[in-house]
Amino acid sequence: MPHLSTYVGLADHSENTLATSFRAVAEGHAQVADVHHTCLLLAGWSEEHRRALAPAVERYGEDRDIDEPERLHAAGLAETRAGEVGLLRDLQDLHVLATLVQTTWTVIAQGAQGLRDTELLQVAEDCNAETSRQLSWLNTRMKEAAPQALIVSP
Amino acid sequence: MPAHAQGRCGHPEGVAAHDGDTASYDRIRDVWGPRTPHARGTAWPERVDVHLESGLSEGDVERWVPSACVLCSNGCGCDIAVKDGRMVGVRGRADDAVNRGRLGPKGLYGSTPWASSTDRLTRPLVREGGRLVETDWDTALGRVVATSRRLLEEQGPLSHGFYTSGQLFLEEYYLQAVIGKAGLGTPHMDGNTRLCTATAAAALKESFGADGQPACHDDVEHCDALFLYGHNTAETQTVLWARILDRTRGADAPRLVCVDPRRTAVAEEARRTGGVHLAPRVGTNVALVNALTRELLEHGWVDGDYVGAHTVGYDDLAATVAAYPPEEAERICGVPADDVRRAARIFGESEAVLSTVLQGFYQSHQATAASVAVNNLHLLRGMIGRPGAGILQMNGQPTAQNNRECGADGDLTGFRNWDNPAHVRELAEQWNVDPMTIPHWAPPTHAMQIFAHAETGSIGLLWISATNPAVSMPESARIRRILGGDQCFVVVQDLFRTETAELADVVLPAAGWGEKTGTFTNADRTVHLSEQAVEPPGEARSDLQILLAYADAMGFTDRDGAPLVRWRTPEEVFDAWRESTCGRPVDYTGLSYDLLRRRSGVRWPVNDRHPEGSDRLYADAVFPTDTDVCETFGHDLVTGGTVTELEHRARAPGGRAFLKAAPYLPPHEEPSEDFPLRYTTGRTVHQFHTRTKTGRARRLDEAAPDAWVELSAADAEARDVHDGDWVRVDSPRGAIEVRARIGPVLEGAVFAPFHYGRWDPTDLAADAGHRQANELTMTVWDPVSKQPTFKTAACQVTRVRGRDRGGS
């Protein structure tokens, strides 16, 4: 199942990228209290997803011979931006990363169903649901931040 | 069991607690006054409390002017005594449903002395060369209007922010909402209600679809169990506590369960009635309530028919709380597992449970999740909307409810949903403005975010009315920097030169309670009319007049070019507000000044169906959760992410309440090696807020003249601290130096009252600059209610020196 292992690797890797990026935004915008604390919390969720996936990595292996997430990472949140518009852009980047994570879980869930791997299916569905909550928060926070950042921010 | 007559006077338990110049009855010492015990299901007897200035008796009073007390959130009906054009005292109204004649010590001693205080603001002030100097209204208001116009032209309405209060009148909030939302079009409006009641509103909205208190205070008379969650009623709502004591000391008394990390009078009464005192570690409420919920499910203390017919979300709730057996609560909260079991059994086996919730939940970690859990417990047992069985998500201030209703805070007028275009259109039609004028692209900005925008200068005009954020907001040093800086023009409207006024660019002298007419609504939906008793001092004007003058000068118009604000009197504004509530849960359509003059206190909704008002909501178990009706589509209780309209519709709530739960998360700041103790702030019975009024009442000031911190005997001994010693309390953000009290606070916790700022009525407090509790608190807030967390921070206590000679 070479391609399932590719996707297991992609999930593990993209969750790691998302977790690291959430932590980067938490530190980069530490003065924005809710962003700081929520990003730390959500980074923890992604790290937990990797732990939940670990048995599948054992079972199917993890094919790291892929380059999509690295490209995203390189172009994404190695470092954060400053100011209100900067925060908006950083949240938007997190949203892009989380979308990649979510579609990855969707694909894995499809594979797990085909293989009748109920354990992996459960992991994929649970993680997918939490990724939705990460996306929901990002969307909410961007909507809140946008008007002031676009119109009045110095 | 004797039934008690309800005559105005002369019934057997009637007690006149009069306090004239002889100080015959000292309510500083006897806070709750004489008992009038009575049996379950019987009416609460009357007891008329009176206080007049020294040397006066009731015969000297020229006029009694009807009002209600504004020195806590209870809203007790009272009459203001007037003599020679001055307010000289107060008397409780025996016919008022809220208090049956009683008043608390703050109401008795603090209601009127401030009004004739010599340091009242009587003329406007403007900043000249760094100093505030007196000027006339044209000059002061002219500067505000010029700044406002310039910012509107250069940056648009998002440059304007308004930070109001929980102490204005309904008419003032409504006018403020119209000016802000339809005149200017700024989403940046909030009140200090964010600090005290935002979670009450949020919890009600998440569970029931809209704000609105399900129960009323009368339920005290009918319950057989009373749960008080983080609500030190004995100090914060003394008349309600007197009402509770009259039940616990009477026949067929209810059992009390108290959730509080301090062994308060409420906790003592819980033990005395055979109930339970649960003392969770600060910041762990959610683990405790999850365990209580799990116990109900485990023992089948659930009304399955009610849950099935009237709620959604049971399975998710059950899955979340499954992880919290009593032993897990013991591990996280430090509460013995058997106490959790006993408390849950009382909830599960009583026939009518009344729950009240306040700051111990609202200002603590995971505020909304913990408060929603209380709603869940009642929904699971179907205990809503009948006598004795209900929920009181309390408020911290007398008029906080009106700020939420009118939408001068982070709500949309009339409990409307900012995310529902039809609701926005209704308002736009009533105000005759383009719906696009009314900011509704995101939730209205919460207070902490408003101050963050003021910090960067992207809000260039911040207008603060009737509140003192320099003392009451978290992380005081930061707030002072924001208000004192040049990046934002600050207008302050108040009775006195508060710590906040001292930092303003323009200070406007306001008329206070008794010096203006208006209505207000307490936490159990009781609306009172407070009539003007005397003229304000000097050039002081009512907040309504000030806002009208600003609106006139700005020339706000509707879409036909007619003036947006056409009202002149409080009653005209009230009538406009009344119209805006038509068809909403907060229905005032049957209320008028006329009705409020005939009846002392009427509970909304008042409409064709309920012409006399409504004691309870949801007796029919139909909740305002329908997607087209609700005030909010809801939130993720952990992240604060908003539920979309589509997601809400998919759950098809259709009048059923939501059961929602969240797992426990550790507080944002846990004790460490440098800061090993948990810091929590709170209130004391003889002071209100930042003491602007109570500090100017001699007897209250003498009773509680200065700040302190309370620590446990073990923590004191470990630091060689004795009662009365001066100590320094440090957190990662600041430090205070105050006297220590060894008290019944949990080991590992430190309690500090938040009332005390730099200002002092005697100017004698040498420590006045070093005693402000919020120097130590964190800038962090609940993800849903956005209420700042005042109850969880880490700190250290160090002894500085011994007690003052002659004691404190």
Structure confidence by residue, pLDDT tens digits, B233-253: 999 999 999 999 999 999 999
Domain end point (choices B80, B111, B142):
B111
Answer yes or no: is B723 within a domain. yes
Classify residue B463 by burial, with Cβ atoms within 10 Å: 0-12, 13-18, 19+.
buried
In the predicted model, what is the mean pLDDT of chain B? 93
Kindly tell me if the per-residue pLDDT of A72 is higher than 80.
Answer: no
Question: Are residue B264 and residue B369 in the same domain, yes or no?
Answer: yes
Closest residue on chain A to B644 (Cα): A136
User: Would you say B800 and B497 are in contact if contact means Cβ atoms under 8 Å apart?
Assistant: no
Structure confidence by residue, pLDDT tens digits, B81-105: 999 999 999 999 999 999 999 999 9
Kindly tell me if the per-residue pLDDT of B531 is higher than 60.
Answer: yes
Whether residues A33 and B783 touch (CB distance < 8 A) is answered with no
Give mean pLDDT, residues B216-222: 98
Largest pairwise CA distance in chain A: 55
Answer yes or no: is B5 within a domain. no
Indicate the Cα dihedral angle B127, B131, B134, B136, nearest 10°.
Answer: -10
Among B805, B788, B795, B735, CA closest to B199: B788
The domains found in chain A, sorted by start residue, are: 2-151 (1.20.1260.10)
Question: Are residue B414 and residue B362 in the same domain, yes or no?
Answer: no
Answer yes or no: is B225 within a domain. yes
Spatial distance between the Cα atoms of A11 and B161, rounded to a whole number of angstroms: 44
Of A33, A138, A144, the CB nearest to B443: A144
| Residue B429 CA, distance from chain mean position | 32
- pLDDT-above-90 percentage for chain A: 72
Question: Are residue B647 and residue B725 in the same domain, yes or no?
Answer: no
Domain with residue B275: its CATH number is: 3.40.228.10
Mutation target vs A (from B479, B639, B668; most A CBs, 10 A cutoff): B639
Question: Are residue B96 and residue B159 in the same domain, yes or no?
Answer: no
Spatial distance between the Cα atoms of B646 and A136, rounded to a whole number of angstroms: 13
Spatial distance between the Cα atoms of A137 and A125, rounded to a whole number of angstroms: 19
Spatial distance between the Cα atoms of B513 and B509, rounded to a whole number of angstroms: 13
B481 lies in which domain range? Answer: 125-197+399-418+456-584+586-603
Question: Are residue B184 and residue B268 in the same domain, yes or no?
Answer: no
Q: What is the DSSP annotation of B120-182? A: ---S-EEEETTEEEE--HHHHHHHHHHHHHHHHHHH-GGGEEEEE-SSS-HHHHHHHHIIIII
Helix (H, G, I), strand (E, B) or coil at B610: coil
Question: Are residue B652 and residue B731 in the same domain, yes or no?
Answer: no
Q: H or E segment at B50?
A: strand B49-52
Per DSSP (E only), the strands in B361-516 are 390-393, 461-465, 489-494, 506-509
Structure confidence by residue, pLDDT tens digits, B28-70: 999 999 999 999 999 999 999 999 999 999 999 999 999 999 9
Q: What is the DSSP annotation of B250-296? A: STTPPEEEEE-SB--HHHHHHHHTT-EEE-PPTT-HHHHHHHHHHHH
Whether residues B636 and A42 touch (CB distance < 8 A) is answered with no
Question: Are residue B69 and residue B99 in the same domain, yes or no?
Answer: yes
Spatial distance between the Cα atoms of B229 and B211, rounded to a whole number of angstroms: 19
Among B300, B349, B289, B371, CA closest to B324: B289
Answer yes or no: is B505 within a domain. yes
Residue appearing with tokens 């499954």: B322
**CB-based contacts of A138, cutoff 8 Å, min separation 6:** A91, A94, A95, A98, B641
Structure tokens at B183: 């005149």
Instruction: Give the ipTM.
Output: 0.93
- Residue B166's pLDDT is 93
Query: Which residues of B make CB contacts under 8 Å with A?
Result: 155-156, 158-159, 187, 439, 441-443, 445, 448-449, 452-453, 456-459, 636, 638-643, 665, 668, 778-781, 783
**What total of structural domains would you count in chain B?**
4
| Neighbouring C-beta atoms of residue B330, cutoff 10 Å | 18
Answer yes or no: is B364 within a domain. yes
Residue appearing with tokens 């297991």: A8
Q: What is the DSSP letter of B781?
A: B
Q: Please tell me the pTM assigned to this model.
A: 0.94
Structure tokens at B603: 């509970």
Spatial distance between the Cα atoms of B362 and B394, rounded to a whole number of angstroms: 9
Sort out which chain B residues have CB atoms less than 8 A from A37's CB and list them: 668, 780
Q: Is A122 on the interface with B (CB under 8 A)?
A: no
Sort out which chain B residues have CB atoms less than 8 A from A138's CB and list them: 641
Whether residues A147 and B156 touch (CB distance < 8 A) is answered with no
Cα A114 to Cα B100, B162, B567: the distances in Å are 71, 58, 69
Of B442, B456, B778, the CB nearest to A147: B442
Kindly tell me if the per-residue pLDDT of B11 is higher than 50.
Answer: no
For residue B113, cis peptide bond before it (omega within 30 degrees of 0): no
- Residue B760's pLDDT is 81
- Residue B444's pLDDT is 87
Spatial distance between the Cα atoms of B392 and B374, rounded to a whole number of angstroms: 10
How close B380 comes to chain A (CA, Å)?
26
Question: Are residue B685 and residue B593 in the same domain, yes or no?
Answer: no
Domain end point (choices B77, B111, B145):
B111
Whether residues B783 and A140 touch (CB distance < 8 A) is answered with no
Domain with residue B688: its CATH number is: 2.40.40.20
Residue appearing with tokens 């323009």: B506
Kindly tell me if the per-residue pLDDT of B134 is higher than 90.
Answer: yes
Q: Is A22 on the interface with B (CB under 8 A)?
A: no
Sort out which chain B residues have CB atoms less than 8 A from A84's CB and list them: 456, 458
Q: H or E segment at B795?
A: strand B793-801
Of A32, A136, A148, the CB nearest to B158: A148
Of A33, A148, A152, the CB nearest to B780: A33
Q: Where does the pLDDT of residue A4 fall: very low under 50, low under 70, confident under 90, or very high at 90 and above?
A: confident
Question: Are residue B245 and residue B217 in the same domain, yes or no?
Answer: yes
Answer yes or no: is B350 within a domain. yes
Closest residue on chain B to A151 (Cα): B155
Whether residues A137 and B452 touch (CB distance < 8 A) is answered with no
Question: Are residue B190 and residue B208 in the same domain, yes or no?
Answer: no
Answer yes or no: is B479 within a domain. yes
Question: Are residue B719 and residue B792 in the same domain, yes or no?
Answer: yes
Domain with residue B481: its CATH number is: 3.40.50.740
Whether residues A37 and B442 touch (CB distance < 8 A) is answered with no
Sort out which chain B residues have CB atoms less than 8 A from A148's CB and list them: 158, 453, 458
Structure confidence by residue, pLDDT tens digits, B771-793: 888 889 888 899 999 999 888 88
Answer yes or no: is B447 within a domain. no
**CB-based contacts of B209, cutoff 8 Å, min separation 6:** B623, B624, B625, B626, B629, B630, B631, B632, B653, B657, B658
Domain with residue B96: its CATH number is: 2.20.25.90
Task: Summarize chain A as % helix, strand, coil (round to 5).
Answer: 85, 0, 15
Helix (H, G, I), strand (E, B) or coil at B797: strand
Whether residues B158 and A144 touch (CB distance < 8 A) is answered with no
Whether residues A152 and B187 touch (CB distance < 8 A) is answered with no
- Residue B23's pLDDT is 39
How close B772 comes to chain A (CA, Å)?
22
Question: Are residue B138 and residue B228 in the same domain, yes or no?
Answer: no
Question: Which ranges of B613-682 does DSSP label H, i.e. alpha helix?
Answer: 645-651
Sort out which chain B residues have CB atoms less than 8 A from A153's CB and list them: 456, 458
Give mean pLDDT, residues B257-269: 96
Domain end point (choices B81, B111, B141):
B111
Cα B99 to Cα B356, B511, B533: the distances in Å are 17, 26, 21
Residue appearing with tokens 């038509």: B582
Among B371, B321, B392, CA closest to B206: B371
Of A37, A133, A136, the CB nearest to B780: A37
